[in-house]
Amino acid sequence: MLAIRLVREPERLDTLVLPVRPVGPDRPPALVPTASPPGDDVRAEATALLPAARLTGAAGEVREHLRPGGTPARLVLLGIGDGDEHGWRSAGAALARAAKDETYVTVALPADAAEALRGLVEGLLLGSYRFRLTEAGGAPALAEVDVVVPDPDTLAPTLAAARTTAEMTRLARDLTNTPSSTKNPGWFAAQVAAAATDRPDLNLRVRGPEELAAEGFGGILAVGGGSASGPRLVELDWRPADARTHVVLVGKGITFDTGGISIKPVPAMKLMRKDMAGAAAVVAATLGAAALRLPVRITTLAPLAENMVSGSAFRPGDIIRHYGGLTSESTNSDAEGRLVLADALAYAERELRPDLLVDLATLTGANAVALGKRHGALYSENDQLAADLLAAIEAAGERAWRMPLPTDYVEYLGSDVADLHSSPDPAKSITAALFLREFTGDLRDRWVHVDMSAPSWSEDVHGELTRGATGWGVRGLLRWLATLS
C-alpha cells in the first residue's frame, strides 16, 4: 500500500502535482492557491498550459507535462472539481492510476487542507487497490506520495483517520474478492481472529455448529446445513471504557450462495463469493473503530454459512425455528440471507440490548432493479436515525436511498404453517426488510436495514472504485460511528 508522508515544503520534485479547479461557466479553470506555492516560473508555465491542455478542472481530470532538465521534471495538473472532500477523493484515485509508473510524486494542497487531505488520501489508497492471486503482470511502481501541507503535525490525525478508513475498506474488499475455494465460514472467522489479535478492548467469540445448535440458532444452521464447511457466528465486541452508546452491527455472511435446492442459474451464481460483503463491511468497520479508538461500544455479529446443494440441504417449504422461538416458512432456499440475519437480530435484541441496531446485507437483486448499481436501499422507522446514517454515507462518498416500509405489505409475510413466510414474491427488497423487522423486538424503532447487494460490487473503474468488491459500507459506518461519541 502507498506510503503517504506530510511535509511542510517539497523535498522531492521529480513530479509535482498542482490542483486545478473550475472558476465559472464563462471563465477558464485556474490553479488552486497552495500552502507552499511553486516558483513563479512553474506557476506561469502551468497557467499557460491550462487552455492548451483543454482542462476543465473536473474532479479526476489529469494532464501530465514533461519539463526535460527542469525542476520539477514533470508537472501534473489535477482537476479537483468543487474542491470538497468528494472532489479530492476522485482526484486522488485518478492520480493513483495516472502516476502508476512513477516511483513517487509530490502533491501541493491548499492552506485549508483538512478536507482536501482526507479526500486525497482515501482516493489514493482506494484507487490504487488491486486484488490478484497471480504474480503475472507488473505491479504499479508508485510507492510514495509526499503531501505538502501548512502544518504536518496538526493534520497528522486527519491522515491517520483517512488511512485507517482506506485500510479497512481494502480489508473488506480483500475478504469479498477472495474466491470461495478458499473462503468458507471457518476461514472467514480465522481472518477476523487474526485481524483482532493484540487490539486492546476488542474481544472475539466464534460459535461453531455445536454451540449454534445448543443455543437455538436455527436459521444459521438451516442455511449452512448443506455444506461440508459448517456455519459460524462471529461476535466481535469493541468495548472502550468511555463508551456511552452501544451499537450492534449485523452483516450477512454467506461465503458462497448456490441458491441451495432452489439453485441459481450459472450467470447469477458466478459472483456469489460476494454474498458475504455485509459481514466484511461490519467487521472491517469495527476493526477501524478500534484502531481509531472511537468512544462507542460496538458489537458486531457476522452469521456465516455456505448455502450449498446436498442431501443435508434445507428444502423449500421447511419450517425453521429461529433464535428466540419465532418460526418461518421458506419456499425458496435462495432467500437464505434473511434467515441467518433473523437469528442474529433476535440474539442482539434479546441478549445484547443495544441502543441502536444496524444490519447490512447483500440481500436482494431487487436492490439494483430499484436503485441501480451504486445505491444501497436503506429502511428504518426512525427518521432521525435514517437521516443521520444517510448523511454519513453521503459524506463518506458512498450512496444510499431511503425506502418505505408499507404497513399493508406485512400481509405478504403471512403463513398457514409458521409465524412468518420468509420468501414472498412481491416487492422483494421491501418484504425482506419487513421480515427482518419482525426479529428486532423492542429495537424496532432504533433499527436500520441496508440492502447493499448492488453497490457491493463494481463492474468498472469509477472514481475510487476498482473492478470487483467495493468495500461498500465501511466508510459510511465509520463516519457515522464517529458522530456517536
Positions marked catalytic: 264, 338
Residue spans of alpha helices (H) in 304-439: 337-347, 366-371, 383-395, 428-437
β-strands 297-307, 232-238 pairing: antiparallel
Largest interatomic CA distance in the chain: 82
CB 362, CB 338: distance < 8 Å: no
C-alpha cell at 18: 498542482
Distance set, CA 267 to CA 20, 130, 230, 270, 310 (Å): 43, 24, 26, 6, 21
Task: Burial-class residue 247 by CB neighbours within 10 Å (0-12, 13-18, 19+).
Answer: buried
Across the strands, what pairs with 235? 205, 301
C-alpha cell at 293: 479508538
Q: In sequence order, what are the residues at sequence separation of 6 or more whose Cβ sits closer than 8 angstroms to the Cβ of residue 231?
A: 185, 209, 212, 220, 221, 223, 224, 225, 303, 304, 305, 306, 340
Q: How far apart are CA 430 and CA 197, in angstroms?
A: 38
* Helix, strand, coil distribution of the chain in percent, nearest 5: 40, 20, 40
Return phi, psi of residue 117, to 5°: -65, -45
Q: How far apart are CA 211 and CA 190, in angstroms?
A: 17
The length of the chain is 485
Q: What angle do CA 450, 393, 362 make, to 5 degrees?
A: 30
Distance set, CA 363 to CA 319, 386, 471 (Å): 20, 19, 16
Provide the sign of the torsion angle of the four alpha carbons 189, 438, 433, 318, taken in this order.
positive
Q: How far apart are CA 285 and CA 171, in angstroms?
A: 10
